Structure 1
């Protein structure tokens, strides 16, 4: 009897260990910093929700490297914000960049021209009360702010501009408080004082609080691994009961 009791106890411990292993296997694919993703723009990211580019891989998304080919070019990325309180985005480049974040429906949340005084790189700081409030899908646009601005509706005039007019020093965080800010993104248009803008300007988009949803192949690998772990647990339990 004592032997059987000991055997059963060992079996339960083995099952528990296997369950822990399964949990670690699952979590490592999503939170392990070793799996941090650096994404290179594939071709040219689209400008609208239907054509936005979604970085692939698994783990936290740390950087996106891309190129603005001309002043009218906008790179819109579909990203999954897994930690709204720590979400941040900043551009490093040699052109006057702009950043704009939209929710899953294309409604503007907030944006920026210059992160700091005397710096033409845009940035969205972590912890801003105007930033994202919930975990989920968003769209982040990188563009030359002197050449184009987000619009809504069927027109491209100032009455359709999602962002408001701003004044120097252009470091403020702005919301979708322009004439077209109550409607979702439908296009981009040059502002009245537009310039020629950037030509083939590379940029680095640094992110925090963003995760890449694993590709289907990764899901399959995870499920296969969990299935194997489950089979091992059942086998251990059977042998423990003998």
Structure 2
């Protein structure tokens, strides 16, 4: 099956030619950024992949696949070398702050209703503020698209309330967990991706729209080699599934042979 591979975007994201700042959508084209954290530090990288580009490319009938090898980034290697892998969390985020605010994030399970539009706009502003702190860190650390932060410093992903919180629920404003772990390491175990539109002020519920491609819902995961994947493809059966399928075909073949022998 042919897939639409966004290799150029992945290469650009790790090159000096990439935008040296996370775009928070004031121009209608917010960037996706990946954030990873444990209790002592966090790492954020701008993918240089825009929400509007992803939405367009997901319509490709052949499927969609984006991949980025995080291990190609020296800052990531420095972060992961000292990270507590057992407690490591990560999420993928993009924000649009032009017109109706929109936040797109990863999820494992969505609740039946969205948060209020007021809370959503507050959350979108907080995501934009967090991205701004990360951008400041990129500049200070001399990086084109990524930065590392110690806990309790501006730009750290899981600071407490009052210190630009982000983390698994955007400072408690979100009504679901937006983060995964290193166990989310395959298409089958990947997180979903949901767009949350905060269309008006007030207490009415916002609109949650899980993203899907032509072949499947979007799945986001980090492989064992620390490659980030965003994919909407036909799922490939696991080896155990293949084994069960082959065993079933063998059994069906044996039954068919026995019937032919009985009829003969």
Bigger relative CO (Cα 8 Å, ≥ 6 apart): 1
Short-chain TM bin:
under 0.3
Larger radius of gyration: 1
Q: Which has the higher strand share?
A: 1
Q: Give the structure-2-normalised TM-score.
A: 0.26
